[in-house]
Structure 1
Amino acid sequence: LCCTMSFPLLFSWITIIIARLDNHAQAISSWSSGMDTYMSESWAVLSRMPQPSCVDIPRNFTLCHGIDYARMRLPNLVDHETLDEAVQQAAPWISLLRLNCHPDTQRFLCSLFAPVCLERAIYPCRSLCEAVKSGCEKRMQMYGFPWPEMLNCNKFPITNDMCIQPHENYQVNKSCTSCNQVGTYENILDHFCRSDLVLKVKLKSVSSNYIVVQKARSIKPRETETNLRQSDVELKLQLTENNENCPCSSAKAHRNKRYLAMAYHGRNGVLVLNLLLPWRKEKVQFKKALKMFRKLDCKTLGTQIRERARRERRKKLRAKAKAAAARLGLKIPNPR
């Protein structure tokens, strides 16, 4: 072919081949440069991503301080990257915890807001989420709190050894919840709104399925109370709707002391105990709840609970700001 091809034509072919090789080399160089830029930018993004770290759960992290462990992982499992953000976003859930709607409420919420400090993240099991949702969702809806999408139970793993499961021992004496209530402001007002009778009483006797009270004085507003004011008549209050046997530990001792008792009318007109607490007016939350009884509008209880939570949050933030300002020698004026 070389012998029969003219020199000008051969030269043209060689020029074309060299040009194509040069273009190919430039393309490879450009691709290589682009990959270098891409990898450089990717590593820069990865280096800016927050790496997991462990911090102490501070005292002002009210929702989770005092739980079974002392250190938590950041970022947490709801994408809060800083401790301040986690504390702030967890604050509205304190009211749900104080409603005492399920024994594992704190365990579930803190597994997300303050996950235990381990090398890898441990999520709550789906069964834990479903148990808390079953106990709390209706109570939340009653006061205008829908179950949020961020707590959608389908997001969590089916129960296995690598997720946080519900406590098993809570199944014991599950039916007798009336005697195992907490004296929080939210829980007392919640039961007040769900009870037909609210009484200050003395206990005469306690059995396995009912209590007998005397010296009962009604403290429910007139429009919803019975004719009971102050009476020596004894009242029998069943401990459960189905008259089941269960221990009432809060009523075993000090039977001559006063108690706050709340009850509702069950089937066949029987009175069923809804809540029993020792009468402890020296307790701040108990005292605040008592003051609210006469002016409480149960239709707006959810709004009142939310507003109280906001006030508490603002108060804490202001105290924190004042402390920081004092360290700098500054003074924050009081709000009018």
Structure 2
Amino acid sequence: MKLCFFSSWLWRPLSLALVLVLVSAFSRASEYEYLGWRSEQVSGGRSYGKPLQCLDIPEDLKLCHSVGYSQMLLPNLLEHETMAEVRQQAGSWVPLVHKGCHPGTQVLLCSLFAPVCLDRPLPPCRWLCEAVREGCAPIMEAFGFPWPEMLACDKFPQGDVCIAMTNASTTQPTQLSGPAPVCPPCDNEMKTEAILEHRCASEFVIKAKVKEARQQGSDRRVTLERRRRLLNRGALKKKDLKKLVLYLKNGADCPCQQLEQLGKTYLLMGRKVDEQYLLTGIHSWDMSNAEFRKALRMLKSHTCPGFEAVFK
């Protein structure tokens, strides 16, 4: 069995553990008809239109370039046949990895977008998918995105002929000691990339002061001061802006420092989900900060991945 990725994995202990799992799995691969499983349960009956190729993972494929191996298979498990397709879709998932909601998130996603270069692609293990879902689904829900069909965990095998991580921490969601983790939209990193990631999960951007923030069920209801400036309209109309109320999804108990400092000016972002306008980002309006000024300049010109095409 050709293991074209093996030498490139030896420099990362966790990745080496993954190699051992894969080698063990392929020693029993004859018991598992992988391609039949894939065509029936993942791709809806479609088969590969092109022969499998082993390609270098390009540097601009940010989701998987640092995953721990250097080559990937195309077509992948999501039926992308070109690197351009992979780049376009994979970029939508980079912010989720940055949130650090589970240590196995990148491995799970890259097993689908950029399968490790073996003689046949391997799916992720069901337990890994379930562990990542437990840790990351609440983060996605905070931004108004459901756990997508492409990551429906019951599609993946329960046996050992699959991508897994032997690190024990991957069986549990990321646990933080001390107080509850900050609400995802309230991450107050004054970094251009972090602000733009929030922008890409949003439909509109406004400048305003927070008048009130109070608990409403499991959410937090955020009322703004009357004076508001629309920076990116999206589908938000002027009449909607005047009566706009934002909701911090499942944010009743998690800390949000910005909502405790009323009367300050903020850069607020949101998107409409069902009949609510969700708060998807809140950053202090700080023109003395170079990273903030840079993000502000890029708000209108920045090209975002197509979230709606992916998270469905």
**Structure-1-length-normalised TM-score:** 0.43
Q: Which has the higher contact order (CA 8 A, sep 6+)?
A: 2
Higher helix share: 1
**Structure-2-length-normalised TM-score:** 0.46
- Higher radius of gyration, 1 or 2: 1
